[in-house]
């Protein structure tokens, strides 16, 4: 599925936008490139749902689109407020993760089953939706800052290519981990703030901050832009792997908790 999106994106960019010089086609490039990774993984997630989760594939897609958009809009307001403060670099992670988890809690009103496994799906869907809109926004900003031409195409390709790869290591993983802790804290329709929720929030906020600090850190240390780029990508890979390992551990714990629950005995 992801390969299919890559082919469509490349054909749209190089055949229509570059070959035929159709500038209006760039809007399709933004959308396909921004949503490629998210759409491919959402497709896979839909086939991993179980009847016991009581989530339909169509509902999961709606949650990704609406929840991701709402999360992106919610983060704009606090991000604008903290962007001019000295603590901006430290607050972005905690603020954005808090805004996304607010959306997770809002969505919980329409989710009949609330446990860590369901939280992984809901958080992952919202994270992928958030990343899709963010990737599209960044691609649009990249093109606006570069005059149309070969440089614009190169920058757009680099931007969307890198973000398509790194998307799977960022927001979906962080939001999934935190949403699993939040949904595990529900008793009926009532949310309890547990140490697991607080610990998960602090961890994903720290991973988010480290991710954002990587590029400025290596740019300030290394004079060579090429060396800084590869050092940045290496650090992002390490952070991403750490997040994936925590996600995998959370997934195993969620399945173990479900297995440990008593099986209801049908009444005659």
CA distances in angstroms from 130 to 111, 122, 161, listed in the order given: 19, 12, 17
| Structure-derived torsion over alpha carbons of residues 45, 111, 93, 161, reported in degrees to the nearest 10 | 20
**How far does CA 85 lie from the centroid of its chain?**
25
Angle between helices 88-107 and 195-221 (to 10 degrees): 140
Mean pLDDT of 189-212: 92
Other CB atoms within 10 Å distance of the CB of residue 231: 18
In this predicted structure, the answer to whether residue 268 has a pLDDT above a threshold of 50 is no
pLDDT in the model for residue 144: 65
pTM for the predicted model, two decimal places: 0.84
Mean pLDDT of 201-211: 94
Pairing of the two strands 186-187 and 190-191: antiparallel
In this prediction, residue 61 has a pLDDT band, given cuts at 50, 70 and 90, of very high
In this prediction, residue 260 has a pLDDT band, given cuts at 50, 70 and 90, of confident
Q: Which residues of 184-194 are buried (b: 16+ CB within 10 A; e: fewer)?
A: bbbeeeeeeee
pLDDT in the model for residue 153: 60
Tokens 């606090």, residue located: 78
182-185: long-range pairs with CB below 8 Å, 24+: 182/101, 182/104, 182/105, 182/108, 182/119, 182/123, 183/104, 183/108, 183/111, 183/114, 183/115, 183/116, 183/118, 183/119, 183/122, 184/115, 184/116, 184/119, 184/254, 184/257
Mean pLDDT of 80-100: 79
Q: 40 and 172 in contact (C-beta within 8 Å)? A: no
């Amino acid at each position: 599925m992801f390969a299919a999106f890559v082919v469509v994106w490349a054909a749209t960019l190089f055949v229509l936008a570059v070959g035929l010089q159709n500038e209006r086609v760039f809007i399709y490039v933004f959308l396909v490139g921004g949503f490629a990774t998210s759409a491919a993984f959402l497709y896979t997630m839909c086939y991993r749902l179980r009847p016991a989760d009581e989530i339909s594939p169509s509902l999961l897609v709606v949650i990704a689109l609406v929840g991701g958009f709402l999360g992106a809009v919610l983060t704009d307001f606090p991000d604008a407020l903290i962007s001019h403060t000295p603590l901006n670099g430290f607050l972005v992670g905690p603020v954005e993760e808090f805004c996304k988890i607010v959306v997770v809690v809002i969505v919980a009103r329409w989710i009949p089953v609330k446990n860590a496994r369901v939280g992984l799906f809901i958080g992952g869907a919202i994270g992928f939706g958030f990343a899709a809109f963010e990737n599209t926004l960044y691609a649009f900003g990249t093109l606006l800052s570069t005059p149309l031409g070969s440089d614009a195409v190169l920058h757009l390709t680099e931007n969307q290519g890198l973000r398509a790869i790194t998307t799977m290591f960022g927001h979906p993983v962080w939001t999934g981990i935190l949403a699993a802790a939040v949904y595990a804290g529900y008793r009926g329709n009532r949310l309890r703030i547990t140490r697991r929720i607080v610990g998960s929030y602090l961890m994903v906020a720290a991973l988010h901050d480290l991710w954002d600090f990587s590029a400025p850190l290596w740019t300030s240390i290394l004079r060579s832009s090429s060396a800084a780029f590869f050092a940045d990508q290496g650090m992002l890979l390490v952070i991403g792997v750490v997040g994936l390992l925590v996600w995998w551990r959370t997934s195993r714990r969620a399945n173990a908790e479900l297995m440990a629950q008593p099986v209801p005995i049908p009444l005659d």
